[in-house]
Structure formats: C-alpha cells, structure tokens
Structure 1
Amino acid sequence: MKKTLFLASVLLILSCSSDNKVDNNQFLPPSNVNYQINLNLPQFNPLKFPGNHLVDNTENGSIRGIIIYNIDNTQYAAFELSDPNHSPNNCSAVSVENQTSITATCGCDDGNSYNIVTGQQTSGDGQFGLRRYNVRREGNTLFISN
C-alpha cells in the first residue's frame, strides 16, 4: 500500500507544470516587462472599477504598450498591444474602440481582433492570441511582468 501511495505521489508531482511558458511566437520580439502601476494616481482611475480597461503606452518594456483590464478588482488581465500575428509595423498595434468594449482590433487590413479579457483571437487570420503579461495586485499597486 505504501509503495502504491508513494508511486501515485511521484506521478502527481511529475505531472504538475510550471509557469514557465515558452513563447514561440516568431512575429513578436522578446520583451522584458516589469513595472508597477499605482492605482491611487488619477491617470489609472479607470482600473479601480470592474469592467474597465486602460491602455498604457509608457516606456514599460512592452513592444507597443499594454492593455490592462479589471475583471473584478482582484483579478486583472494584461496583454501586449502589438498584434501577435504580424511582425511589428506601422499598422500592427491593436486598439480598443471605446471604454465599454472588450475587443481590440488590429489596424492592418486583415480584420484581426482579440478579446482583451482572455487574449483569444475573435476574428481574422492567425494562430496566436495576444501576448499575456502577469498581473499581481498588492494593496493599491499592480505589478505587471512577464
């Protein structure tokens, strides 16, 4: 019985995966995002309310900028603004039409659009969803990294 329990434990441990996901997207160059957002600052006010998003184009290590979506004040989604199915160019940045939309659309003529909550492609051609960044909230600070 002990051998069976030990063997099951070993198999369980070996079947666990790590958070080290390999980004095999040949269109987007590597980026090093590691920065903080203070939610007390007025420019980040939209992120205090669930269902709102904010586009951050500051020098934060991203390619084109980051879109951050407040899911429920404890969970946030953050994605790269460069269309993952194009090499960065003058039309490859995605944008969101208005504050209530959850769809980001590429500026190129291929019709690529993406859900800013899940990162999944919703229309157009391509094999990649938006590049996801990790978001952690501690107090009134969001830590965004990859």
Structure 2
Amino acid sequence: MRHFWGCILLIFAISCDSDSTNRNPFLQEVSFRFDLNLNLPLYSGLNTIGNPVFVGNNGVGTRGAFVIKSGLDTFFAFEASCPNHAPNACSTMTIDGQNVICSCENYTYSLFTGQQLDRPDDGNRYYDLLFYRATQSGNTITISN
C-alpha cells in the first residue's frame, strides 16, 4: 500500500508544471457579447465556409474580431489584435484569404486553427490568436468572451 501512495504522489509531482498559465501578457481578455445577423449584407459572407469577416464594432474585443465559418454549423472567432505585442498603431491585423497578417512583423495566422504559421525559431515564446466563443442560433452568430 505504501508503494501505491508513493506512485500516486510521484504522478502528481511529475504532472505539476511551473508555468501554471498560458495567458497572453499582451492582450487583455475583455468581456463582451455581440450578435451577427447572417441576413445582413455585412455578415452574409459567413454563409460560405472559409469566408472570413472582420467585425470592428466598438466593444468587440480589443481591436475587433475575425469570424470564419469552418464547417456546416461551426464558426470560429479570434481577436483582431496581433497576439505577439501590445496593441499599437500597426497591431490590427488584416485578412489575407483564410489567414490574417500582422503588419508590424508580417506574422501570419490561420483563421481555421488560430495558430501562427511562420513562428520564428529564435527561442522566444510566441502566442497564437486569442480565441472567442462563437455560437449559432438560427441566422444569428453570437461571439463572446
């Protein structure tokens, strides 16, 4: 029985990680909720898989959000501010097909996964896009954090 508890203690000790959070230090995680009506021309592009839309309304994230339809009933939403530096004049990213590009360093991120596609191999820590919840109810997509 002593060996059993020793093994359990060892498993807990090994599974502990000194980096307890994966939070991005550059972006605040603001609380918001915004509805997109797919019947409006501004958001009708979201009726097609792989067609991203920028939502730049006040109160939506830090610098807005990118929303993309990734499957029949699946939507993803991501923060529009580059996740690898503090928000500034060049940090609002732009859509390039199904990716977004930060004009500060020309980093490219996938809107299907949120991952940085051209991560430098310099030993520094780089962050992927900040994910927002996107749910569909009828013709309305709600993005929130």
Counterpart mapping for 1:80-119 below 5 A: 80-97=79-96, 101-108=97-104, 110-119=105-114
Count of aligned pairs: 121
CA deviations 1:30-85 (Å, max 9, x no partner) are 31121111111111110111121101111133111110011123001100010111
Q: Does the aligned pair in 2 maintain the 1:121–1:128 contact within 8 Å?
A: yes
CA deviations 1:97-143 (Å, max 9, x no partner) are 3xxx11211010x2311001110000144521000000110110111
Q: Does the aligned pair in 1 maintain the 2:119–2:126 contact within 8 Å?
A: no
Secondary structure of residue in 1 paired with 2:42? helix
Secondary structure of residue in 2 paired with 1:67? strand
Counterpart mapping for 1:42-81 below 5 A: 42-81=41-80
What is the CA–CA distance in structure 2 between the aligned matches of 1:24 and 1:33, rounded to whole Å?
A: 18
Q: Which amino acid in the other structure matches residue 30 of structure 1?
A: E
Corresponding residue for residue 31 of structure 1: 30
Any stretches of 5+ residues in structure 1 without a counterpart? Answer: 1-21
What is the CA–CA distance in structure 2 between the aligned matches of 1:33 and 1:112, rounded to whole Å?
A: 26
Structure 1 residue ranges (4+ consecutive) displaced by more than 4 angstroms after TM superposition:
none
Q: Which amino acid in the other structure matches residue 67 of structure 1?
A: F
Q: Does the aligned pair in 1 maintain the 2:52–2:95 contact within 8 Å?
A: no
What is the CA–CA distance in structure 1 between the aligned matches of 2:22 and 2:77, rounded to whole Å?
A: 16
What is the CA–CA distance in structure 2 between the aligned matches of 1:75 and 1:141, rounded to whole Å?
A: 12
Q: Which amino acid in the other structure matches residue 120 of structure 1?
A: Q
TM-score, structure 2 length as denominator? 0.77
Any stretches of 5+ residues in structure 2 without a counterpart? Answer: 1-20
TM-score, structure 1 length as denominator? 0.77
Q: Which amino acid in the other structure matches residue 81 of structure 1?
A: A
Q: Which amino acid in the other structure matches residue 137 of structure 2?
A: E
